[in-house]
Amino acid sequence: MKKYIGMLCIVMVASAAMIGCGGSPASKVESSFASAEPSLKESAQKAVDAVKAGNYAGASAQLQMLATNTKLTPDQQQAIKDLIADVQKQIQAKAAEAAENAKKAMGDLQKKFGK
């Protein structure tokens, strides 16, 4: 049983390491656009900068516009799709956090002033 648990731990650590080696979706966009033509590279960098700044709405708009470009390579298209998915997750997380904070604030007000 101890061998089984030990092997399971090794497999889990190795899996986590392999997943982590892929880099973030933003870094994949940066690397896939490193040798792109200047206008594409600039658009991609604007999107990445917006993500890093937490401007997910701006990043999403920039990424959607970039995704329609017909000059993208398959790697660039995939990197953009992955970053769009990541940005959407971030937006959902921020919305859930805001909803939770609003619910807490409403509860605090109800306690303070009564129902």
Alpha carbons 87 and 56: distance in angstroms, whole number: 6
Q: Average pLDDT for residues 85-101, to the nearest whole number?
A: 94
Position 105: which residue type? A
Alpha carbons 85 and 77: distance in angstroms, whole number: 12
Residue 1 confidence (pLDDT) above 70: no
Q: Average pLDDT for residues 82-109, to the nearest whole number?
A: 94
Residue 114 banded pLDDT, cuts 50, 70, 90: confident
Comparing 112 with 33, the larger pLDDT belongs to 33
The predicted structure's pLDDT at residue 22:
63
CA dist 2 → 7, 12, 14, 15, 16 (Å): 9, 15, 18, 20, 21
- Nearest of 87, 25, 80, 28 to residue 54 by alpha carbon: 87
CA dist 50 → 31, 57, 102 (Å): 17, 8, 26
Comparing 9 with 69, the larger pLDDT belongs to 69
Q: Which segments of 21-115 does DSSP mark as H helices, in order?
A: 25-32, 38-52, 56-67, 74-113
Residue 43 confidence (pLDDT) above 70: yes
Residue 113 banded pLDDT, cuts 50, 70, 90: confident
At 5-28, the pLDDT tens digits run 544 445 444 433 333 446 899 999
Residues 6+ apart with CB under 8 A from 46: 62
Write down the mean pLDDT value for the chain: 85
Domain edges within the chain: 24-113
